[in-house]
Amino acid sequence: MSKKKYAVGIDLGGTSIKIGLVDLKGKIIKKVSIDSCASKGPDAVIEQIVKGIRLITNKKYDKILGIGIGAPGAVKFKRGTVENPPNFPNWGKVHLGKAIKEKFDCNVYVENDANTAAIGELIYGAGNELENFIMITLGTGVGGGIIINKKIYRGETGGAGEIGHVTIDYDGPQCKCGSFGCIESFIGNNYLIGRVKKQLQEKRDSQLNKLTSNDLNLLSPQLIHQAAQDGDDFAKSIIVDCGLKLGYVLASIVNVLDISTIIIGGGVAGFGQLLFDTVKLSIKERVIKPFKDQIVVKPAKLKNNAGVKGASALVFYKS
Amino acid sequence: MSKKKYAVGIDLGGTSIKIGLVDLKGKIIKKVSIDSCASKGPDAVIEQIVKGIRLITNKKYDKILGIGIGAPGAVKFKRGTVENPPNFPNWGKVHLGKAIKEKFDCNVYVENDANTAAIGELIYGAGNELENFIMITLGTGVGGGIIINKKIYRGETGGAGEIGHVTIDYDGPQCKCGSFGCIESFIGNNYLIGRVKKQLQEKRDSQLNKLTSNDLNLLSPQLIHQAAQDGDDFAKSIIVDCGLKLGYVLASIVNVLDISTIIIGGGVAGFGQLLFDTVKLSIKERVIKPFKDQIVVKPAKLKNNAGVKGASALVFYKS
């Protein structure tokens, strides 16, 4: 593989498409962000992607080793299809990989965004030296990716790793997936912020009221983290609660998979050391005895532009 | 591989050791059951195993392709070690495979009993035609074994598949593993029978009182099944509750592994069609949408002597 080759990494989001030219070490050489035009349907989105790739590569395709796309929704890696991604109306099932390949003379890899995050950590990040790890991404949803023997574990239909929809309380709050008590229904951004908003009505002395200027619509994981760092007890209790619950689900997963390293990324991971310490403690308390002393919990290494870098890693991962 | 070859399958239990001579099709040609002598320590147990193998093979070792041992406790397959099996005092870590291999001129395979059950179904049973399945064994404990691409999935240290210790209620009853709300703490035999005993005090009209002649120490999964078949509502409600909860945990596991076939064995599986129907319904209700129509729940095919047959399968599995 020539050292001069680059990968194009594409982070497909409902609002914007982020496209980067990335080198073998995961360094972004050039980057653009363009409107997804999601409301105009799949053809318009594909047109935007094509436009973005042309922009970023300056039409010099000979240096492009391949194009990697991290997409929301149900993705079939082998076929390069993306099905019903949330926030993309009238989408159905789209052969995204094929559509892009027709325009550019290189390999195109399409993967779901949670697996993309795991592959990003495997190729460039906190999982680079590891044979096996469990990646968990804390955002609007709680995503998961499982690396076994340095390969992503896809399962029978490419849908494996849905750690966000492991229940920790069969009688718990209903999750948007239809089940009850999924970890996502506790710590997914919207569920978490919604719950904190309610609790704040009885926590008039919490700094979060001040930090949001009493406009609770401004509440975010970042502000919770800031309040906790300023010593706000309520904010700290939110982070500890998230960490404990995340530990409950991860202990179950470790018991099933016998994989002892967990990498945590995404917005809520910004809760910092208090979150990581609590997760580790919680897993250790709950996991079966033989695994207790092996648990390692690490933050993801790819932070800004993790989506673009992860998508570009799909190219180097397959190469 | 000559058709005349047999495998020796050994089911190591705290009370008795069951040893069988098994052919390629999983048919038991000859069988003995001898005292484990577990209270006398590992050397005595090993002596009993050796005695049993000699008995069953009639010292004609040339027809023996190998010896498979299914053992409780923490087993390292590669090293053939068995660590702290419950009901085996003063055991510590024993190189069981090596000790047996020294006596007989053939390969010896040692595996934990849950994985042994899964390999038994893979080689001779309900999983024979399958690439992937999740095996769950309902007994005193709730054991699990995961088959991926026709191979047992062992994880990093050989301890994978502990489905019994996946929590379905983080605030639930304490499990003997130390965690809370593990599925085993709900439907493991002792926990289940203990809970039913308590509930029966307020169910004076349940047939279970009659079937046990009001001696609740006689209560067993078999009697619960019998009462349910006779139309006893309380007995049926117990089975439905077990099925629902088993479904909750399996839905989580399917979401993580994307493996859609579940094989259920062990005593509580004797609850029959009502259990299987409820498990399937419960998984379908809880699993994420793309998996809903793919779920298959089957009873294990190896029933009597499943332990001996499964252990013998270790030999054919490796061959």
Over range B286-314, report the average pLDDT. 95
Give CA–CA dist B168/B135, Å, rounded.
Answer: 18
CB pair distance less than 8 Å for A255 and B168 = no
Residue B3's pLDDT band (boundaries 50, 70, 90)? low
Model confidence at A289: pLDDT above 50: yes
Give CA–CA dist A50/A73, Å, rounded.
Answer: 20
Instruction: Show which of residues 67-126 on chain A sit within 8 Å of chain B, judged by CB atoms.
Output: 74
Q: Would you say A226 and A270 are in contact if contact means Cβ atoms under 8 Å apart? A: no
Which chain B residue has its CA at the smallest distance from A143's CA?
B256
The pLDDT > 90 percentage for chain B reads 86
Query: Identical fold at B6-122+306-318 and B128-299?
Result: yes
Between the two ends of chain A, the Cα-to-Cα distance in Å is 9
- Minimal CA separation from B204 to chain A, in Å: 29
By Cβ distance, the residue of A158, A258, A289 closest to B160 is: A258
A294 inside 8 A of chain B by CB: yes
CATH architecture group of domain B6-122+306-318:
2-Layer Sandwich (3.30)
Cα B240 to chain centroid distance, Å, stands at 21
Domain ranges (residues) in chain B: 6-122+306-318, 128-299
CATH code: domain A129-299 is 3.30.420.40
CATH code: domain A6-122+305-318 is 3.30.420.40
Instruction: Show which of residues 17-46 on chain A sit within 8 Å of chain B, judged by CB atoms.
Output: none
CB pair distance less than 8 Å for A159 and B291 = yes
Instruction: Name the nearest CA neighbour of A20 among A11, A8, A2.
Output: A8
A291 inside 8 A of chain B by CB: yes
By Cβ distance, the residue of B180, B255, B258 closest to A156 is: B258
Q: What is the pLDDT of residue B1?
A: 46
**Has this prediction a pTM greater than 0.90?**
yes
Give CA–CA dist A7/A24, Å, rounded.
Answer: 8
A279 inside 8 A of chain B by CB: no
CB pair distance less than 8 Å for B167 and A257 = no
Give CA–CA dist A119/A124, Å, rounded.
Answer: 8
- Minimal CA separation from B144 to chain A, in Å: 8
Render chain A in DSSP notation, one character per residue. --TT-EEEEEEE-SSEEEEEEE-TTS-EEEEEEEE--GGG-HHHHHHHHHHHHHHHHTT-GGGEEEEEEEESSEEETTTTEEE--TT-TT--EE-HHHHHHTTSSSEEEEEEHHHHHHHHHHHHSTTTT-S-EEEEEESSSEEEEEEETTEE--TTTS----GGG-BSBTTSPBPTTS-BSBTHHHHSHHHHHHHHHHHHTT-TTSHHHHHTTT-GGG--HHHHHHHHHTT-HHHHHHHHHHHHHHHHHHHHHHHHH---EEEEESGGGGG-HHHHHHHHHHHHHHS-GGGGGG-EEEE-S--TTHHHHHHHHHHHHH-
Q: What is the pLDDT of residue B37?
A: 96
Q: What is the pLDDT of residue B269?
A: 80
Distances (CA, A) of A155 to A127, A249, A268, B30, B253: 20, 20, 27, 40, 12
Q: What is the pLDDT of residue B63?
A: 85
Q: What is the pLDDT of residue B74?
A: 87
CATH architecture group of domain B128-299:
2-Layer Sandwich (3.30)
CB pair distance less than 8 Å for A258 and B157 = yes
Instruction: Show which of residues 145-164 on chain A sit within 8 Å of chain B, judged by CB atoms.
Output: 146, 154-163
The pLDDT > 70 percentage for chain A reads 98
Model confidence at A3: pLDDT above 80: no
